[in-house]
Amino acid sequence: MTAVAGFRDYASLFAQHQALLTLNDEVDGEVVGKTLAGRDIWAYVIGDPDSTTAEGFPESAVLINGGIHAREWQTPEAVTSLFETLVAAKTDGGFFQFIVDNLNTIVVPVNNVDGFIQTQLFPETVTADRRQPREGRMRRKNLRNPVTNSF
């Protein structure tokens, strides 16, 4: 499913993340927060279970975020691609296997789930029209209602 040619919608990205979590022992995941609308924000850790390097030292960690801003459709794709690559090449006998065996890679593919989904409701509407200020691909403001301080 694509929201606009070349980009997956949130449901498709999330399904891929959950499949990678379910099908691979090197992947762990958990909900690390909730959005204003009550949606889960997921983080995934790609790494081996022993948490030590080949030399016996504690493994370092790196955090990679995507989808911080609602209109960032490329960053969730890029983070998902990295996630997919690490899992697919985990036994390549080279660089990627070294990374999986010696580093905990934490990925948060979509931080701003509400905004990301909102911009994909009308993906081809690219104007900031006062008649539909909360819709469209180019929406910039957050979804918090300033009067009620809620969604």
pLDDT for 135: 61
- What pTM does this model have? 0.85
* pLDDT averaged per 10 residues, the chain (length 151): 69 97 97 93 95 90 93 92 96 94 96 88 63 59 66 60
The dihedral over CA atoms of 139, 140, 142, 147, expressed in degrees to the nearest 10, equals -90
Amino acid letter for position 71:
R
SS3 27: strand
pLDDT of residue 140: 60
